[in-house]
């Protein structure tokens, strides 16, 4: 605590991201992609004329939004971009959820939502997952008098994804406020709700280049929705930072979007490795939740999450362990390369052997 902090800052509970270690570890803790970005990203970087950095970037990010619009088959007026999807989410909280009513959210979901809620004074109404560790769509829909609904699909850190019909069933019942579906992991086997934006003007879908596009270090995220929602986001953005996406990031993002083949190959590889890893973990006695993301959530009946985390760390393998009552016994394991997963399984064989 410092006397210089304003009262609101004293009250904050900041998000704690997974560790970025400086030593060489098998890094399976923050859901980064183990494969490099599309080759065209490297080419664009090498060809970049440094003199462009003298100028401010396009405040509307028109070229990047057009590229995203083309890939989603929507109008560019239905696309918003920001400095990582975390920033897009923060702007969405300000634009849509600061009503005098609670925001409906699952108890277990992306842990940044409560942080933004706290920062922007948004009250949360938390709905437990169902017995299968799935987001309880019916409970979210049944609540009344709200500022909105937010959840991740696939959900984090469980990996479960609802099909499009379930999302549409929710949208049929929640029409008065924004429903935000965070699709950070959608490319690893789930269905995107972008297909519904023309029919549901209150649907906002967010996404990121950090996971399936292997560009976590670049910081690029986006939202897709009706023009009125995008305009709401633009109002907040232009009241805060006119240039959240720098010219280099925009150029490299466009290069990444162009290479559909590389994108498909990487995501299929991650999906195949995920299913093999799930099987091998189950062979070691783990319970593994079914996942449509680039991670799995797993627990062992005989070893605590903390024990396993420490044992792996001693063997140079970093996974994510959450210190909350519901998740304490679990490990969230990012899907890496096949070699990295071999190291994980070997280490677990000695720890659990």
Ligand X SMILES: *Cc1c(COP(=O)(O)O)cnc(C)c1O
Site for ligand X contains 108 (CB under 6 A)? no
Question: How many whole angstroms separate alpha carbon 10 and alpha carbon 18?
Answer: 23
CA nearest to 159, candidates 300, 287, 348? 287
Site for ligand X contains 249 (CB under 6 A)? no
Site for ligand X contains 182 (CB under 6 A)? yes
Site for ligand X contains 222 (CB under 6 A)? no
Q: How far is the CB of 204 from ligand X (least distance, A)?
A: 13
The residue within the footprint of ligand X, chosen from 152, 205, 223, 297 (CB under 6 A), is 152
Site for ligand X contains 208 (CB under 6 A)? yes
Alpha-carbon dihedral angle through residues 336, 337, 339, 343, given to the nearest 10 degrees: 0
Tokens at 286, concatenated: 């783990």
> What are φ and ψ of residue 308, in 5° steps?
-65, -40
Site for ligand X contains 187 (CB under 6 A)? no
Q: How far is the CB of 211 from ligand X (least distance, A)?
A: 6
The set of residues, in sequence order, having a beta carbon less than 8 Å from that of 189 and lying 6+ positions away, is 154, 161, 271, 292, 293
Q: How far is the CB of 280 from ligand X (least distance, A)?
A: 24
Cross-sheet strand order for the sheet of 148-152: 79-82, 221-225, 203-208, 178-182, 148-152, 103-106, 124-127
Site for ligand X contains 156 (CB under 6 A)? yes
Site for ligand X contains 110 (CB under 6 A)? yes
The residue within the footprint of ligand X, chosen from 76, 210, 247, 334 (CB under 6 A), is 210
Instruction: Quote the strand ranges of 139-241, DSSP E.
Output: 148-152, 178-182, 203-208, 221-225
Question: How many whole angstroms separate alpha carbon 96 and alpha carbon 103?
Answer: 10
Strand 203-208 to 221-225 pairing: antiparallel
**Residue ranges in 18-77 that form contacts with ligand X under rule CB under 6 A:** none
Q: Return the SS3 of 58.
A: coil
Site for ligand X contains 113 (CB under 6 A)? no
Question: How many whole angstroms separate alpha carbon 132 and alpha carbon 142?
Answer: 19
Q: How far is the CB of 282 from ligand X (least distance, A)?
A: 24
Nearer to ligand X, 300 or 336 (CB): 336
Binding window for ligand X (CB under 6 A); candidates: 134-142, 195-203, 208-216, 230-238: 208-216
The residue within the footprint of ligand X, chosen from 119, 184, 289, 317 (CB under 6 A), is 184
Site for ligand X contains 257 (CB under 6 A)? no
Tokens at 110, concatenated: 């992306």
DSSP bridge pairs for 179? 149, 203
How many chain residues interact with ligand X (CB under 6 A)?
12
Nearer to ligand X, 194 or 348 (CB): 194
Binding window for ligand X (CB under 6 A); candidates: 48-56, 80-88, 134-142, 305-313: 80-88
Contacts with ligand X, residue ranges (CB under 6 A): 84-86, 110, 152, 156, 182, 184, 208, 210, 216, 221
């Amino acid at each position: 605590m410092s006397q210089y902090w304003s009262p609101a800052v004293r009250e904050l509970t900041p998000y704690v991201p997974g560790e970025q270690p400086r030593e060489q570890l098998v890094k399976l803790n923050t859901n980064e992609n183990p494969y490099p970005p599309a080759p065209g990203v490297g080419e664009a970087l090498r060809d970049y004329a440094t003199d462009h950095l003298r100028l401010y970037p396009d405040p509307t990010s028109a070229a990047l939004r057009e590229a995203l619009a083309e890939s989603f088959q929507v109008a560019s007026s239905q696309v918003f971009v920001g400095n990582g999807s975390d920033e897009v989410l923060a702007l969405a909280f300000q634009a849509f959820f600061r009503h005098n009513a609670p925001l409906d959210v699952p108890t277990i979901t992306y842990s940044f939502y409560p942080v933004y809620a706290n920062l922007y004074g948004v009250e949360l109404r938390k709905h437990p997952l169902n017995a299968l560790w799935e987001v309880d769509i019916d409970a979210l829909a049944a609540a009344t008098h709200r500022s909105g609904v937010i959840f991740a699909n696939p959900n984090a850190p469980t990996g479960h994804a609802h099909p499009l019909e379930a999302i549409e069933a929710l949208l049929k019942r929640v029409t008065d406020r924004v429903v935000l579906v965070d699709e950070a992991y959608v490319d690893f086997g789930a269905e995107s709700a972008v297909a519904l934006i023309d029919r549901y003007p209150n649907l906002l879908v967010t996404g990121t280049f950090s996971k399936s596009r292997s560009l976590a270090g670049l910081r690029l995220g986006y939202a897709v929705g009706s023009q009125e929602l995008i305009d709401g986001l633009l109002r907040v953005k232009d009241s805060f930072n006119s240039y959240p996406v720098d010219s280099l990031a925009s150029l490299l993002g466009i290069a990444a979007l162009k290479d559909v083949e590389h994108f498909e190959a990487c995501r299929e590889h991650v999906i195949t490795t995920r299913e093999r890893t799930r099987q091998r973990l189950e062979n070691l006695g783990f319970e593994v939740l079914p996942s449509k993301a680039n991670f799995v959530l797993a627990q062992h009946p005989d070893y605590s999450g903390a024990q396993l985390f420490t044992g792996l760390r001693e063997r140079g393998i970093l996974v994510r362990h959450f210190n909350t009552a519901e998740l304490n016994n679990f490990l969230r394991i990012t899907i890496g390369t096949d070699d990295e997963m071999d190291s994980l399984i070997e280490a677990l064989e000695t720890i659990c052997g």
